[in-house]
Structure 1
Amino acid sequence: MTAALAETGDRRTAPPAGTPVTPQAPRRRRRTRAFDEVPRWQIYLPLGLYLLFTLVPFYWMLLFALRPAGSTSLVPWPVTFEHFEKVWNERSFGVFFQNSMLVGLATLVTTTVIALSGGYALARFDFRVKNAFMLALLCSQFIPGALMLVPLFEIFRNLRMINSLESVIIAETVFQLPLSIILISGFIKNVPVSLEEAAWVDGCSRLRAFRAVVLPLLRPGLIAVGSFAFVHSWNHFLFALMFLSEQDKQTIPVGLNTLIGADSVDLGALAAGGVIAAVPVVIVFAFIQKWLITGFSAGAVKG
């Protein structure tokens, strides 16, 4: 009797012959149909307003940088580059640009190399104070850089490094390292240890296995960490203002501040300087956008 009931129950619940077993397909079709029925303007209108809100300040900056001095036109015509020539030649923006590029590239290299070694140690080795060290790295992100200006200034003064680009590079690297080490550690954890173990079996040392197996897989993460280190050091104003006093050692953020006078502001020159400061950052993100998204995706999902 039990077998008969089971057989009857099976006949009652079994789908007709030829029916595909996709119970969630109708629900998915309803969701897709509901999304298709949303008017397009409800999607594009908020996106357009957000895009307008984002691009208007950039257009305003380009307008002041490209239109002649004294013009009130809302269209930069006729186009002039007199403001760029003025800030580049008369206001020493060529020197500021070179100093900022040197600080940014040096910070990128030092931060990436040190974070790579520290992140590998946290990802592959176990030691007693590992959790406490990770907690200290996280807590250091809550300390604003302004609180460390006086101690850093005293340290660099005793080391006779005031008014040198090396002091800014060291300060920028120190403040970029905690987050960079945490990110690199997450990227390395996504690389299976079995890949390194296979290289060890083939006769590779730990360093050679790391360079041949792990390092190529970390390219998106390294690009993400390095790009943020470069952009942060390029835009940072406080350290360069405090540690650099001579004009030929200053960076672009400090140079922009010198364009603001006590009684008047040359808006054309200030806008041209802002465009010069923004162009490298835009170029960096335009070229590394694909790697940046891939790196964040690899760091967010643990394999």
Structure 2
Amino acid sequence: MTQTTLRRDAVLPPPVQTSAPPRRGAGRVSRWQIYVPLTLYLLFTLVPFYWMVVFAFRPRGSDSLLPWPITLENFDTVWNGLGFGIFFQNSLLVGLASLVATTVIALSGGYALARYSFRGKQLFLIALLCTQFIPGAMMLIPLFEIFRTLGLVNTLWSLVIAETVFQLPLSLILLSGFIKNIPMELEEAAWVDGCSRLRAFFAVVLPLLRPALVAVGSFAFINSWNNFLFALMFVSEQEKFTIPVGLAYTLGEFSVDFGALAAGGVVAALPVVLVFAVIQRYLVQGMSAGAVKG
């Protein structure tokens, strides 16, 4: 019995030395470390918007901290008196046209970059990245000369072309990265079933590109909507102004109508806020998927 007991004890594993239990609260982040920075960030971000809304909705001459009593007089002045209805229409046309042109061109170019191998492909991608470091102000004179030669100065088409050209590099990179993540086997299966390459693209690839297309289109629209420099330099007639240029012309030489300026700011910001609220889920998905190397 003694030998059996010793033999069993001999094959037992050595005792495991456990580390000391972690101290209470170690590695945990307290609530104030989260809420205080977030509160400061929200204050820094939302306070200007709050004051814009207050000035836009409160009566002229009032110094109340709340927009009460609410009045739409400033919006009537901006929309009818200053012609913001026409500015809004021009911005909408330029934004939608830039969205369609950028998305269509970037879709075809992104597919070519993702699926085909050709000489100079890496050099082309490097050139696309390098264009992101060129400020738009440096291209004003060359673009103005080109548009003057083509007879496009003082037309909305000049804004559409300029916005599309400046949006294309980033859009091409995003869409090509997203298409690389789509397995080639899906298209090959469609080819085996008798689909042409174009039909397989529309039937298989295009439905999977919805988040990327939303991301690219929304960025193209918002950047076109907010652009001030091109609209200021290429358009001189008031009937063809966009909203950013119209906001600049609300500033008088000796006085500023803060109520009208704030109402114009609300009109300019509202479409952008609505777009982001609707497409934020697709936007995050499209950006993250396009940033992953396939």
- The two structures have a TM-score, normalised by structure 1, of 0.89
Q: 1:150 to 1:33 in 2, by over 3 A?
A: same
* Deviates most, 44-53 or 267-276: 44-53
Instruction: Tell me if the contact between 2:154 and 2:236 (Cα under 8 Å) persists in the aligned partners.
Output: yes
What is aligned with 1:249? 240
Distance 1:9 1:154 in 2: 92
How far apart are 1:38 and its partner, in Å?
3.7
Mapped pair 1:98 → 2:99 = no
1:69 partner amino acid: R
How far apart are 1:34 and its partner, in Å?
4.2
What is aligned with 1:144? 135
What is aligned with 2:201? 210
Distance 2:214 2:126 in 1: 25
What is aligned with 2:13? 12
Distance 1:9 1:170 in 2: 84
Distance 1:112 1:285 in 2: 18
Distance 1:269 1:39 in 2: 45
Distance 1:194 1:121 in 2: 17
Q: How does 1:42-53 map to 2 (within 5 A)?
A: 42-53=33-44
How far apart are 1:58 and its partner, in Å?
0.3
What is the aligned-residue identity percentage?
70
2:183 partner amino acid: P
Tell me, which stretches of 5 or more residues in structure 2 are unaligned?
A: 1-8
Match of 1:125 among 101, 116, 123: 116
Q: 1:13 to 1:276 in 2, by over 3 A?
A: farther
Q: How does 1:35-74 map to 2 (within 5 A)?
A: 38-74=29-65
How far apart are 1:33 and its partner, in Å?
6.2
What is aligned with 2:169? 178
How far apart are 1:57 and its partner, in Å?
0.3
Q: 1:10 to 1:227 in 2, by over 3 A?
A: farther
- The two structures have a TM-score, normalised by structure 2, of 0.92
How far apart are 1:301 and its partner, in Å?
3.0
Distance 1:32 1:212 in 2: 56
2:235 partner amino acid: L
Give the root-mean-square deviation of aligned CA atoms.
2.3
Match of 2:99 among 76, 94, 108: 108
Structure 2 counterpart SS, 1:163? coil
> Which string of whole-angstrom CA distances, capped at 9 and with x for unpartnered residues, describes residues 157-177 of structure 1?
111111110110000000000
In the alignment of these two chains, the number of paired residues is: 286
Structure 2 counterpart SS, 1:79? coil
2:276 partner amino acid: F
Mapped pair 1:270 → 2:261 = yes
Distance 1:301 1:159 in 2: 40
What is aligned with 1:19? none
How far apart are 1:293 and its partner, in Å?
1.1
> Which string of whole-angstrom CA distances, capped at 9 and with x for unpartnered residues, describes residues 147-200 of structure 1?
111111111111111111011000000000011001100000000111111111
How far apart are 1:65 and its partner, in Å?
0.6
Instruction: Tell me if the contact between 2:87 and 2:240 (Cα under 8 Å) persists in the aligned partners.
Output: yes
What is aligned with 1:88? 79
1:182 partner amino acid: I
1:57 partner amino acid: P
How far apart are 1:85 and its partner, in Å?
0.3
How far apart are 1:30 and its partner, in Å?
5.9
1:288 partner amino acid: I
How far apart are 1:132 and its partner, in Å?
0.6
> Which string of whole-angstrom CA distances, capped at 9 and with x for unpartnered residues, describes residues 186-242 of structure 1?
000000111111111111111111111111111001100110000000000011111
What is aligned with 2:4? none
* Deviates most, 88-97 or 43-52: 43-52
Q: 1:68 to 1:115 in 2, by over 3 A?
A: same
Distance 1:63 1:200 in 2: 60
Distance 1:203 1:14 in 2: 67
2:108 partner amino acid: S
How far apart are 1:50 and its partner, in Å?
1.1
